[in-house]
Structure 1
Amino acid sequence: MDVIDVWTGERASALQKALRLTNERFAERLGTAVRTVAKWHANPLAQLSAELQEALDTVLYEAPAPAKARFGLLIQAGSTLATSPTATDLTEAEKRLHADPHIGSALAWLDRAADWQPGTARQRVASALVSLNPMALHDRGQRRSGVNREQVASALRSFYADMPPGYGTYSARYGDGQRVRTSVLTCADWLDLVCPLTPEHDHAELVSETTPPVTVDPPALERAIRRVAETLEMNTRMVDATLYRLAEIDISRGRLAGAFGLSSFVEYALTMDLLEGELVDVLAKGEQPTAEMLPLRQRYLPDVQSVLDVDKRLCAGGALALCAIARPPGLRRAKADYLLLVQERGGRVLNAARRLAVIPKSFHEPLTDYLDDTQIGATLRREMEEELFGRDDVDGTLGAQRRADPMHPSRLSAPMRWLTEHPDAWQMECTGFGLNLVSGNYEYASMVVIHDETFWIDYGGDIAANWESDSLRQFSSVDKDFLTDLVGDTAWSNEGLFAFLQALRRLAEVGDRRVNLPTVEWELE
């Protein structure tokens, strides 16, 4: 047998077996990576690239006669040696494809959404994984990192030109007349809310209705398949957590009501969360996005009304807060102030990766009590424990939650227990609400202000960011010039800047002598 019409993973593996070569020796013969050869064992149906097709043709042509004979027998027998790879043959990505329950949930969702036979999505993702080029993904990441917040906000404001009266994208003037803009759709009634995050003011309902069915056409399915493959290749965390989806908006000054339903992170990650990458890829080419260039956006979020109709779509989102902690004067500070914390998000998160954001920042999701956890304050208290106070056991990405009440007073960290025992020493408020045009997410901009210096004296050394952050930066509330420069930093995520600006406005009102902040005046564009 000297000719093969199409080389598949199975046929390439059969040739390797006929030549009696290890993965390393076979990869060297073909001029490819060992991990590529290993992928053929994991995905026998994969069709190889044109370059590898030619390389395999050459290796087969040059093979000695006994090896050709063995290869012919393997092909004729319909060899399935690649269908049950041993663990040592698999890359880490392929191990996750076979064993990670969260990836399994994504595959099951794809099979359901496409009305495929079970197992079809696994084969499609495995095929996509084989074809991925890690260097190309790295290069794409570099190109995407060159697109800043202002470019995204400007492009989305142009795309959504059908803005109804009273609504606009959040922008602000600050300092000496500088101006920044975001992609957060909002209105006057959703800003400067001065809403304490307590049960009296923060009481959305939980409705039992399920997420409206998502219609997925073939192009959208291909993007979703590639997303799963890239998640495996880049070792990004994908956890199929339950998310609250916004079902009804009812927000006014001092009051958060409305309703939430339930959805899943996998469905969000494979639909709405794909819109950002699609947009940024167009902007990275230096082009002005049009509807034709953004087919996913046209399907899921084509106009402003579709953004506002949260009951008719999957609207996930979360809460994020600027954390301000009172400090006494010290060796490096002549004045008492508030420590302001800002994080740089890490590269393994799916949301706002490599961007500046306030901390804590989280998807709004239940922990164990689906009814009470609809409170935005519940999410922020949990995230303070996880992202600032070192409570890994409330991090839903690290494992299943088996405790009946992870936020029971007996389980709280020492810093959170102190705050719980001193309710008059701090305040937690929602300062604004908006819908982020990037992916249609809802954003509850908030702030956490600890007024008692005792907290910093006793627990300042216990504060540390978790795995979601690459770094944690601190700023002083009396350093007006540095804060002015920080506002203008193009590395901010849109929702992060929205929350930061709204918190600065409120902190100027409650901070007394501990603040010297740049003036912030919001506008609707």
Structure 2
Amino acid sequence: MDVVDTWTGQHASALKRALRETNEGFADLLGTSVRTVAGWSANPRLVPTAEIQRALDTLLFQAAADVKARFALLVGSRQPESTNQVTARHPTPAQQRLAEDPHIAAGLAWLESNFDWAPGSARERVADELAALDSNALKAQAHRNAQVTRQQAAEAARRYYRAGFGQWRPYTAQVAGQEHATTILTQDAWLDLGQPVGGGQDDFRFHPNTRRGMKITRGVAEEAARSLAESLEKGSQIVNSEIYTLTSLDIRPGVVAGSVGVIDFVEFALTLNLLEGELMRSIATQGTDRPLAMPIRDELLPDVPTVLDFAGRICAGGALALTAIARPRGRGHDPDYLLLIQERSGSVLNANRRLAVIPKAFHGPLADYGEDARFSATLEREMEEELFGRTDVDSTVGDQLHADPMHPSLLSDPMRWLMDRQGSDAWRMESTAVGVNLVSGNYEFASLIVIDDEEWWVKYGGQVRANWESSGLHRYSSLDTVRLEALALDPRWSNEGFFAFTQGCRRLATIGGQRVRMPSIELES
């Protein structure tokens, strides 16, 4: 057999056998991934992309006579389904999203513009990866990744970046005599800040981007395609909204300032965000007792100087805050603060299934690039979205059409009460610490939101409700030392969540007076 009308997975696998090639060798001959080749064996009826069909034609045409004879024997009596029969099958939800989701299309377009793939090639590559996915294997890998502890991730990061820390160090806190390391890179001057923010007190300036677009290597492009396919299969939410990228940072006593530019979210999702998955898989399969093989990290975030070169790389990040709400004496408790903790949903791309403070969000513009550059603006917006239920400020729901989404006439009642009292003793927002997460190079602005006026809880406590980004919202009393200590020791914390929680607790212990009995939290000296 010298000609194949329409190649299927069965035909391709037969040619591999006729050539006596391994999956790896056959993938090299075709210029595709090993996963794609494996997928043909798992799904013999699969029809490869047009690009691969042409490569298979060429490979068969150039094959020696004995290879062609073996190929003819292997496929001679087998009649795979026709193309019409294959395409008539209903597409899966993941395939439907790949075909129709404009946010996925934006990611594919970015891949093609930053790697030498022809138009349409990125979509075909993701389609191949999606077809080759084994959903059971994907779930098993997700389960293994979920078993990786924060301590293991911290140890792996410490080993990888073992040289060049200097004045910098991974954030480590001691709770109940137990030391807990994180992947958050920081320094003494960036901790225990207690710096008021909001009302113009955090000075971040927006500068239109001058950084050239990046060109990615084949390794990053293929990993990005694989990651997109897995996100589609898992149903992860991917929204290509604009986010800020950090370009400079100035943290001094009384000063929290810096500058930012803007990028599309997919630029982060298909580059630096790949590092978290690579790290978790590497730890799950290789352990942490030896240096890990992480080629994507070697390329994108190889050393501490690169981590700290904010202007020279993509540096996405966000603001997150421990929220403490004053309550009057109630059933079974004296006047205290209610502390809110969330368990992140499996649908989010960042820190899913982990504990975190709330609100927590990527720092990005809503309507005004300049005004929204203050990270306190992101915290205020996320209070509306994540705690008070406003969907029109949620970038995942739809386009922003309001000229001023945070105009007093649009605010929820709980938020309007707070904004009417901004600058008073009724409530405050403070920056508690700043760090850079070695997992994916993100900047983290840890903060504390304190509502001191008990009237707010009496009026609006029943309206506090987490949005889709949380799978659960938990509350703790600031007087319950035992539960707070157990919470701090919970291994499910994300690195940035533990960072913000422990820094918020330390600050609350200083300013909370009789309302608090916080556990002892000491920092590594």
- In structure 1, what is the equivalent of residue 472 of structure 2? 471
One-letter code aligned to 2:169: G
Say whether 1:287 aligns with 2:303: no
Q: Distance in 1 between matches of 2:124 and 2:269?
A: 20
User: What is the identity, as a one-letter code, of the residue corresponding to 1:402?
Assistant: L
- Count, aligned residues: 480
Superposition pairs of residues 356-375 of structure 1, within 5 angstroms: 356-375=355-374
Kept in 2: contact 1:10–1:44 (CA 8 A)? no
Tell me the residue number matched to 1:18. Answer: none
Mean Cα deviation higher: 185-194 or 462-471:
185-194
Instruction: Report the residue type matching 2:323 in the other structure.
Output: C
- The question of whether the paired residues in 1 share the 8 Å contact of 2:10 and 2:45 is answered with no
Residue 59 of structure 2 corresponds to: none
Aligned ranges 1:316-395 → 2 under 5 Å = 316-331=316-331, 333-395=332-394
In structure 1, give the amino acid aligned to 2:267: E
**Matches of 2:74 and 2:45 in 1, distance apart?**
20
Letter in 1 for 2:362: F
Maintained 8 Å contact 1:39/1:94:
no
User: Is 1:99 equivalent to 2:95 in the alignment?
Assistant: no
Rounded to whole Å, the distance in 2 between the matches of 1:289 and 1:230 is 28
- Cα distance in 2 for partners of 1:414, 1:377 equals 19
The letter for the 1-side match of 2:348 is V
Given that residues 8 and 46 in structure 2 are in contact (C-alpha distance below 8 angstroms), is that contact kept between their aligned partners in structure 1? no
Structure 1 residue 253: Cα displacement: 2.5
Name 1:51's counterpart in structure 2.
none
Residue 117 (structure 2) aligns with: 116
After TM superposition, the structure 1 = structure 2 runs for residues 233-272 of structure 1, keeping only pairs within 5 Å, are 233-272=233-272
Aligned to 1:487: 488
Alignment partner, residue 439 of structure 2: 438
**CA shift at 1:203, angstroms?**
1.2
**Inter-partner Cα distance in structure 2 for 1:154 and 1:129:** 33
2: distance between equivalents of 1:143 and 1:149?
A: 14
Q: Distance in 2 between matches of 1:214 and 1:226?
A: 20
Secondary structure at the residue paired with 2:192?
A: strand
Compared with structure 1, are the counterparts of its residues 379 and 5 closer, same or farther at alpha carbon in structure 2 (3 Å cutoff)? same
Shift of 1:280: 1.1
Instruction: Give, in angstroms, the shift of residue 159 of structure 1.
Output: 1.3
AA paired with 2:342? Answer: Q
Kindly state the Cα deviation for residue 462 of structure 1 after the two structures are TM-superposed. 0.6
> Are the equivalent residues in 1 in contact too, given 2:183–2:437 (CA < 8 A)?
yes
1:227 alignment partner in structure 2: 227
Q: Which residue among 77, 94, 109 is the counterpart of 1:61?
A: 77
How far apart, in 1, do the equivalents of 2:180 and 2:52 lie? Answer: 48
Asked whether the 8 Å contact 1:433–1:442 carries over to 2, the reply is: yes
Q: What is residue 20 of structure 1 aligned with on the other side?
A: none
- Partner of residue 171, structure 1: 172
Pick closer, same or farther for the CA change 1:462–1:110 going to 2, 3 Å: same
CA distance in 1, matches of 2:292, 2:514: 53
Q: In structure 1, what is the equivalent of residue 33 of structure 2?
A: none
Report what 1:275 is aligned to.
Answer: 275
Identity, in percent, stands at 47
Task: State the 1:215 CA deviation.
Answer: 3.3
1:514 is matched with which residue?
Answer: 515
Q: In 2 relative to 1, CA 451–292 (structure 1 residues): closer, same or farther, beyond 3 Å?
A: closer
1:422: which partner in 2?
Answer: 421
Q: 1:60 to 1:400 in 2, by over 3 A?
A: farther
Contact preservation (8 Å) 2:319, 2:444: yes
Q: Which moved more, 1:108-117 or 1:202-211?
A: 202-211
**Matching residue of 1:28:** none
Q: Does 1:152 align with 2:153?
A: yes
Q: CA–CA distance in 1 between the matches of 2:486 and 2:148?
A: 19
Distance 1:57 1:289 in 2: 50
Q: Separation in 2 of the partners of 1:62 and 1:238?
A: 41
- Which residue is equivalent to 1:404? 403
What CA deviation, in whole Å up to 9, does each residue of 1:349-405 have, x standing for no partner? 100011000000000000010110000110000000110100111110111111111
Alignment correspondent of 1:202: 202
Match of residue 191 from structure 1: 191
SS in 2 for 1:249: strand
Q: Shift of residue 286 of structure 1?
A: 4.3
Answer with 92-101 or 156-165: which moved more.
Answer: 156-165
Residue aligned with 1:455, SS: helix
Distance 1:511 1:436 in 2: 29
Matched with 1:217 is: 217
Instruction: Give a deviation string over 1:137-168, Cα, whole Å, max 9, x none.
Output: 10000000110101101111121112343211
Partners in 2 of 1:131 and 1:211 — Cα distance? 37
Q: Aligned partner of 2:404: which letter? A: D
Deviation at 1:212, TM superposition (A): 4.4
**Matched residue type, 1:519:** S
SS of 1:404 mapped into structure 2: coil
1:455-500 per-position Cα deviation (integer Å, ceiling 9, x unaligned): 1111111111110111011111001111111111110000000000
Deviates more, 1:321-330 or 1:199-208: 199-208
Point out where structure 2 has 5 or more consecutive residues left out of the alignment. 13-38, 54-69
What SS does structure 1 have at the residue aligned with 2:288? coil
Are 2:197 and 2:431, in contact at CA under 8 Å, matched by a contact in 1?
A: yes
Instruction: Quote the offset at 1:310 in angstroms.
Output: 0.9
1: distance between equivalents of 2:220 and 2:291?
15
The Cα of 1:195 is off from its aligned counterpart by 1.5
Q: What displacement does 1:214 show?
A: 2.5
Q: Supply the RMSD in Å over aligned alpha carbons.
A: 2.9
In 2, are the aligned partners of 1:206 and 1:259 still within 8 Å (CA)? Answer: yes
Letter in 1 for 2:77: Y
Contact map agreement 2:11 2:75 (CA 8 A) in 1? no
